[in-house]
Amino acid sequence: MKIIADNKKKIVVLSAMSGTTNALVEISELLSKKDKKAAGILIDKLEGSYRDVVNNLYEYADNKEKGDQIIITSFEVIKSSLTGRFTQAAANTIISMGEIISTKLFTLLMEENGHDVKLLPALDFMRIGKDKMADLKFITENIRPVLEEAGDAKYYITQGYICRNASGGVDNLQRGGSDYTASLIGAAIDAEEIQIWTDIDGIHNNDPRYVENTKKISRLSFFEAAELAYFGAKILHPQTIYPARIHNIPVRLKNTLNPSDPGTLITSETSGKGIKAVAAKDGITAIKIRSDRMLMAYGFLESVFKIFAKYKTPIDMISTSEVALSLTIDNSKNIKKILEELDEYGTVAVDYNMTIICIVGDIIGEERGFASKVFHALDGIPIRMISYGGSRFNISILVPDTQKEITLKALSKNLLNHS
Ligand code: ASP
Ligand code: MG
């Protein structure tokens, strides 16, 4: 609350309390498997923990009572799914309750402490289109009347993550989507700055779980941050940067545990030449298609890519030779069907459990001798694929995930000058 109530007018986007969305997802999965008993037990457990929260959160008895009422009404919504047919719409409603509860409880807390605060219902202006993508035009047009109706206030509170879909039903922006809500709202109201608060002091130049002495990056460009967001998804929802970039609004990543730290600032300005960071993404599958039909032929890549498009599977890295094509995917849900169809195009080989290591920075600025530095650092590491030149901000290397730690450390030592 201290972080928010700094006398500067703002819209505060809240996520659910820690662990809540996971619990709600689990409840809806149990219900879809018709395991009402197990779902009921989990619902009661979650409700119990929220009653404790309310009991400790408010000072005055009447607010404790109001808090209890919020919990009762919200859990009535969740429990209503225990009877009747369970649909995707019901699941989406359950999963949205974490943010509904957190924002109601928090608004009440701000009121108890005498702050000038209003709650904005995100479902009245946040929307995704038929393609499941956020509809920024709709959001921009609809947030104004919602703000007007709420009336003037210093602090507005709203729900992250949740939205409506093209048919008007409750939906969401995918896990971790509160960051994305914040940047969409920032773009919609043309905010001065978009801040994302987590419990680390910004983006680091390497993965602190594997490499010691990593350093916080104080400035990044939108493009560099977009390359990193896919990898450091734990810090930043991958789509967060886009609305901020097109509206040219600075994004600042801040640490709730250390609020005075300036964090990482992401702007349109390039933040200097050279390599900024190294990051990794696990769970990658590499697919190689070898075919003589590829030789001197046109349309081969198109036919192959069409298969991936048909199964809505994004391709991340690609690498080609005259008679073979290697590519990676991180969503292997439809892999069986994809492989069946690829079979028609040549000999297919698959490697599971791979890791993409990505090197991010303004790499063109380092052009001379850069590749040799990277290869030198990777001496002795079995590399499955390399992607260089797709963007001036990124080089990606594919290695077996058993080699991830050693690769991160080697790059860190040779490119970032720390061990
Ligand atoms: N509560 C949602 C989740 O856990 C959204 C978020 O935390 O950003 O995914
Ligand atoms: Mg989050």
176-216: pLDDT as tens digits:
999 999 999 999 999 999 999 988 888 889 888 889 988 99
Say whether pLDDT at 232 is over 70.
no
Residue 170: phi, psi to the nearest 5? Answer: -70, 140
Identify whether the C-beta of residue 395 lies closer than 8 Å to the C-beta of residue 358: yes
What CA–CA distance (Å, rounded) separates 360 from 393? 5
Rounded percentage of the chain residues whose pLDDT exceeds 90: 76
pLDDT of residue 336: 96
Identify whether the C-beta of residue 281 lies closer than 8 Å to the C-beta of residue 358: yes
CB of residue 16 inside a 6 A radius of ligand 1 = yes
Say whether pLDDT at 227 is over 90.
no
Residue 63 contacts by C-beta under 8 Å, 6 or more apart in sequence?
108, 109, 112
pLDDT of residue 417: 64
Q: Which of 161, 171, 196, 240 to mutate to test the pocket of ligand 1 (most atoms within 8 A of CB)?
A: 161
| Mean pLDDT, range 97-118, rounded to an integer | 98
Shortest-distance Cα residue to atom 5 of ligand 1? 176
CB of residue 160 inside a 6 A radius of ligand 1 = yes
Report which residue type is found at 321: S
Per-residue model confidence as pLDDT tens digits over 19-34: 999 999 999 999 999 9
Say whether pLDDT at 85 is over 70.
yes
Say whether pLDDT at 124 is over 80.
yes
| Mean pLDDT, range 25-48, rounded to an integer | 97
Neighbours of 297 (CB within 10 A): 11
| Ligand having the closest approach to the CA of 15 | 1
pLDDT of residue 233: 47
Dihedral angle of Cα 288, 294, 295, 298, to the nearest 10 degrees: -140
Report which residue type is found at 393: F
CB of residue 161 inside a 6 A radius of ligand 1 = yes
pLDDT of residue 309: 96
CB of residue 178 inside a 6 A radius of ligand 1 = yes
pLDDT of residue 419: 41
| Mean pLDDT, range 48-73, rounded to an integer | 98
CB of residue 103 inside a 6 A radius of ligand 1 = no
pLDDT of residue 415: 86
Identify whether the C-beta of residue 50 lies closer than 8 Å to the C-beta of residue 101: yes
pLDDT of residue 259: 94
What is the value of pTM for the model shown?
A: 0.87
Give distance in angstroms: CA of 205 to centre of ligand 1.
Answer: 24
pLDDT of residue 260: 94
Shortest-distance Cα residue to atom 7 of ligand 1? 176
CB of residue 232 inside a 6 A radius of ligand 1 = no
pLDDT of residue 356: 95
Q: What is the DSSP letter of 293?
A: G
Confidence band of 388 (pLDDT split at 50, 70, 90): confident
Per-residue model confidence as pLDDT tens digits over 148-176: 999 999 999 999 999 999 999 999 999 99
Mean pLDDT, the chain, whole residue set: 93
| Mean pLDDT, range 99-109, rounded to an integer | 98
Per-residue model confidence as pLDDT tens digits over 248-306: 999 999 999 999 999 999 999 977 778 889 999 999 999 999 988 877 778 889 999 99
| Mean pLDDT, range 305-323, rounded to an integer | 94
Closest CA to 275 of 418, 419, 416, 417: 416
Identify whether the C-beta of residue 205 lies closer than 8 Å to the C-beta of residue 276: yes
Higher pLDDT, 373 or 105: 105
Give distance in angstroms: CA of 347 to centre of ligand 1.
Answer: 41
Give distance in angstroms: CA of 15 to centre of ligand 2.
Answer: 6
**Residue at token pair 């109601």:** 104
Say whether pLDDT at 322 is over 90.
no
**Residue length of the chain:** 419
pLDDT of residue 416: 84
CB of residue 128 inside a 6 A radius of ligand 1 = no
Q: Which two tokens stand for residue 85?
A: 């047919």
Confidence band of 366 (pLDDT split at 50, 70, 90): low
b/e map 192-204, b = 16+ CB within 10 Å: eebbbbbebbbbb
> Helix, strand, coil: what percent of the chain each, to 5?
45, 25, 35
Ligand 1 atom nearest residue 22's Cα: 4
| Ligand having the closest approach to the CA of 235 | 2
